[in-house]
Chains A and B, each alone.
Chain A
Amino acid sequence: MKTLLVASFGGHLVQLERLADHLSLDERQWVTTRPDAMAQSHETIPDFNKTTLWRALPCAFAIVGLLRRFRCEAAISTGAAPGLLCLLLARLGGARTIWIDSVANVERLSLSGRVASRLCHLTLTQWPELADGRRVTYLGSVL
């Protein structure tokens, strides 16, 4: 599938890179939040979090632009907030969406993960104890 891979720089991106090594995708487009975050070719979108929500707007514009250029059939994100926004917009554009909650969330899904579990096609936790048999699934871990 033609797939968008989205993650904020740092730990979120490292997790998605490790997982993507084990996926065979027809075509992949990486998206992250800092131009120097990875060696592979990628697009950069503005970062925001829940204390800087106003920056979600420029981030959304950037995402809409790149979704026009790269018509994905699936979108996968390991977080954080910009990844969630990307999945929502990709879903509106008709893509299948997968949220993978960070392996750092051991006891409870992140806030973004809890939102994603209502809005994405598939929400994954990397800790089996956090799967609920309905909205949140465990398929494995990068750790």
Chain B
Amino acid sequence: MIFLTAGGQLPFDRLAALAMACANALPEESVIYQAGPGGEAWFAQRAAPSNLTVEAFMTASSHRALLDEARWTITHAGMGSILHLLERARPMLIFPRLQRHGEHRSDHQLATAQALHKRYGLAFYTDAEALVSRLGDAPPRGDNSDTRELMERRRQSFGRRLQGVLNDWER
């Protein structure tokens, strides 16, 4: 199963088109697209293949279940999904919204994707065709224990320093 997620804030037409392209390229595999508010509209005038399911929203728990199950997850640089996937060593590809397509007011999702690539080597794509051709590959087998360890250490250190601020205030 391939899971594509556009987040809970905005629709994302190029990701909708990508979901359609995935479903057509991989007819044997189910493709699930979480489209965001108004994101189903793109499909209204188009014939979606039978292996494609589109939902505007889902509950947090069913969203998490799909992240855990998917062979690949494709996310608009959404941090909730990315943190969850990193923690469970699940395969992901990032497809950020871009300003030049009018998908956001700035390229901050691209900047996030670049920063994630730099820190943890996560793959991101701005070109849908290149991303679809990657999906035929088997996802990397997930031992990312280095990543998880580093992330956990960063969180501990962040927590400790923030706790220090709270303790100072309490005195």
Q: Which residue numbers of A lie inside 8 Å of B, CB to CB?
A: 1, 3, 9-15, 18-19, 21-25, 34, 36-39, 49, 73-74, 96, 98, 102-108, 122, 124, 127, 139-143
Is there an interface contact between B111 and A107, defined as CB atoms closer than 8 Å? Answer: yes
Q: Does any Cβ of A come within 8 Å of B39's Cβ?
A: no
Is there an interface contact between B158 and A19, defined as CB atoms closer than 8 Å? Answer: yes
Q: How many contacts A-B (CB < 8 Å)?
A: 106
- B110-149: which have CB < 8 Å to A? 111-112, 114-116, 119
Q: Does any Cβ of A come within 8 Å of B99's Cβ?
A: no
Q: Does any Cβ of A come within 8 Å of B25's Cβ?
A: no
C-alpha spacing A98/B163, complex, angstroms: 12
Q: Which residue numbers of B lie inside 8 Å of A, CB to CB?
A: 7-9, 59-61, 77-84, 106, 108-109, 111-112, 114-116, 119, 151, 154-163, 165-166, 169-170
Distance in angstroms from A128 CB to nearest chain B CB is: 12
Jot down 26 A-B pairs with beta carbons below 8 A, ordered by A.
A9-B8, A10-B78, A11-B79, A11-B80, A11-B81, A12-B80, A14-B84, A19-B158, A21-B155, A22-B155, A22-B158, A23-B162, A25-B166, A36-B59, A36-B61, A73-B170, A74-B166, A98-B162, A104-B77, A104-B109, A104-B112, A107-B108, A122-B165, A140-B161, A141-B158, A143-B154
Distance in angstroms from B143 CB to nearest chain A CB is: 19
Tell me which residues across on chain A come within 8 A of B83, comparing CB atoms.
11, 14-15, 18, 142-143
Is there an interface contact between B166 and A102, defined as CB atoms closer than 8 Å? Answer: no
Distance in angstroms from A11 CB to nearest chain B CB is: 4
> A15-B79, A140-B158, A141-B154 known; 8 other A-B pairs, CB under 8 Å?
A1-B169, A3-B166, A11-B80, A14-B79, A39-B61, A103-B79, A107-B111, A140-B157
Is there an interface contact between A143 and B166, defined as CB atoms closer than 8 Å? Answer: no
C-alpha spacing A12/B78, complex, angstroms: 10
Distance in angstroms from A76 CB to nearest chain B CB is: 8
Q: Which of A10, A122, A124 has the most CB of B within 10 A?
A: A10
Name the CB-closest residue of A to B8: A10
Distance in angstroms from B11 CB to nearest chain A CB is: 13
Name the CB-closest residue of A to B58: A36
C-alpha spacing A142/B79, complex, angstroms: 10
Tell me which residues across on chain A come within 8 A of B60, comparing CB atoms.
9, 34, 36-38
Is there an interface contact between A23 and B163, defined as CB atoms closer than 8 Å? Answer: yes
Distance in angstroms from B144 CB to nearest chain A CB is: 13
Name the CB-closest residue of B to A78: B79
C-alpha spacing A107/B96, complex, angstroms: 15
Is there an interface contact between A23 and B159, defined as CB atoms closer than 8 Å? Answer: yes
